[in-house]
Amino acid sequence: MALKVESTMSRPLSEMIGRVVAGRYRLDGLLARGGVGAVYSAEHLPSKTQVAVKMLLPGLADAAHLAERLRREAKAASLLDHPNIVEVLDLVAEQDNLYLVMELVRGRSVGELLDAGPLSVRRALVITRQALEGLSCAHSNGMIHRDIKSENLMLVQVGEAGHEHERVKLLDFGLVKLVGDAVGEVGGAKLTQTGVVFGTPAYIAPEQALGRVVDHRVDLYSLGVVLFEMLTGRTPFRSPDAATLLRMQVSAPIPALASVVPGRPWCTAPLEQLIARSLAKQPDQRFTDATEMIAVLDAAFRSLDHLPAGI
């Protein structure tokens, strides 16, 4: 049955604050609003624990399809138990609306950090490595994210006071593509098809831009774009026109780091190799998997040993 989003969701998003969903989740504050959904901080009343609740926006033209995508996201992410992937706790339906309940992660996205400019090279590599650990878990469970971008990498502080460290959390498995045994585990109607482009143009892999069949290597490409962006403050290809961006992903030469940020002592050969292989146009020229990319990333990190610690 198609979900009706216009009922309780017709009120302004701020008016949802204070409402109790499914008798156990009280919405306490609006955290974020995207193109099709909103995320609230909430309290799980029985346990007094803090969670995040994601729901669809009102008045969406394709509410039934988006609701199925939300169900798919919940089922897919619930199979993944990894410290670098946001944990899905519950999926509840109430008054023809769906609510996806997740662990509450308070922090800043990589995209937000980049508003202030590039990151230090070592920090960028550590963030990328953690994201690869999360992707390795997803890929080994038959899931391809397909929308890795700087906004979907959340950085949170974990650990005891005085000994905190930064942890990456992969967000938003709403565009997940399932392969192998994961199809049977998650089930549901097929949401993807050849010839349809999914993803974000500035981060999308060439085969994704062409609407071809994809595998886990599209995520490695997209993460390579994020790493390039963290190092330089810009994505490899830029255009205000989405169609132009897609064409550039398919055919434009990969810019070398040294050409974008000349004179930087951290533009070592191993780091250039890491970028070049992750952004290769042909999937078989990229890394075989996240584990292989981690090995090359570690070599790139070691190549910085001769540089001052703050770089």
The CATH number of the domain where 31 resides is what? 3.30.200.20
- Tell whether 227 and 286 lie within a shared domain: yes
The CATH number of the domain where 205 resides is what? 1.10.510.10
Q: Which residues are identified as catalytic?
A: 147
232: domain range?
A: 107-302
Question: What tens digit of pLDDT does each residue of 71-93 get?
Answer: 777 777 777 889 999 988 888 88
Look at residue 292 in the predicted model and tell me its pLDDT: 98
Answer whether residue 164 is part of any domain: yes
Mean pLDDT of 163-174: 87
- Tell whether 60 and 95 lie within a shared domain: yes
Question: What tens digit of pLDDT does each residue of 195-224 get?
Answer: 445 688 999 999 999 999 899 999 999 999
- Tell whether 217 and 292 lie within a shared domain: yes
How many CB atoms sit inside 10 A of residue 80's CB? 20
Q: Which of 86, 103, 120 is the last residue of a domain?
A: 103
Mean pLDDT of 163-181: 76
- Tell whether 29 and 72 lie within a shared domain: yes
- Tell whether 163 and 255 lie within a shared domain: yes
Q: Which sign, positive or negative, has the C-alpha torsion 170, 172, 176, 182?
A: positive
Look at residue 10 in the predicted model and tell me its pLDDT: 40
Answer whether residue 311 is part of any domain: no
- Tell whether 35 and 119 lie within a shared domain: no
Closest Cα partner for 86 from 212, 203, 160, 174?
174
- H or E element that contains 139: helix 121-140
